[in-house]
Amino acid sequence: MMILFIIYSFGISIYTQSTGAGETVNNASIAIVDEDNSSLSRSIAGLFYPPYFQTAKMISAADIDRTMDEGLYTLVVVIPPRFEADVRKGRDVDVQVNVDATAVQQASLGAGYIQSMVTDEVKRYRQETAQTTGLSSDLVIRRAFNPNGTQSWFRAIVGLADQLSMLIIILTGAALLREREHGTIEHLLVMPLTAFEIALAKVWSSGLVIFIGFICSLLFVVEGLLDVPIAGSRGLLLLGTIIYIFATAAIGIFLGTLARTMAQFALLMMMFVMPMMMLSGGMSPIESQPQWVQYVTWFFPSRHYVSFMQAIVYRGAGLDIVWKEFVTVLVMGVTFLAVSLVLFRQSVATLR
pLDDT along the chain (352 residues), means of 10: 82 75 71 92 88 88 88 90 88 88 76 87 81 58 76 82 89 81 67 74 85 92 88 92 92 85 84 83 78 87 90 89 93 89 71 54
Nearest to 245 by CA among 155, 152, 158, 329: 329
Domain end: 144, 163, 180, which one?
144
Domain end: 83, 118, 144, which one?
144
* Domains held by the chain: number: 2
Residues 161 and 126 in one domain: no
Residue 15 lies in a domain: no
Residues 154 and 111 in one domain: no
Residues 162 and 133 in one domain: no
Collect all residues with Cβ–Cβ distance below 8 Å to 104 and sequence separation of at least 6.
22, 146, 149, 150, 151, 153, 154
- What's the domain range around 54? 30-144
Residue 10 lies in a domain: no
**Which pLDDT value is given to residue 138?**
64
Residue 292 lies in a domain: yes
Residue 259 lies in a domain: yes
Residues 133 and 263 in one domain: no
Residues 113 and 167 in one domain: no
Four-residue CA torsion sign, 231, 233, 235, 237: negative
Backbone φ and ψ of 107, nearest 5°: -70, -45
Running DSSP on this structure, what letter comes out for residue 28?
A: B
Residue 186 lies in a domain: yes
Contact 30, 75 (CB under 8 A): yes
Residue 222 CA to residue 292 CA, distance in Å, equals 34
**Which pLDDT value is given to residue 92?**
83
Residues 197 and 341 in one domain: yes
We report the CATH number of the domain holding residue 134 as 3.40.1710.10
- Read off the pTM: 0.71
Domain end: 95, 122, 144, which one?
144
Residues 309 and 193 in one domain: yes
Residue 164 CA to residue 172 CA, distance in Å, equals 12
Residue 262 CA to residue 265 CA, distance in Å, equals 5
Residues 315 and 200 in one domain: yes
Running DSSP on this structure, what letter comes out for residue 63?
A: G
Residues 103 and 129 in one domain: yes
Residue 18 lies in a domain: no
Nearest to 331 by CA among 250, 267, 272: 250
Contact 67, 73 (CB under 8 A): yes
Residues 192 and 268 in one domain: yes
Residue 184 lies in a domain: yes
Residues facing residue 96 across a β-bridge = 78, 140
CB atoms within 10 A of CB 329: 25
Residues 128 and 179 in one domain: no
Residues 154 and 296 in one domain: yes
Residue 109 lies in a domain: yes
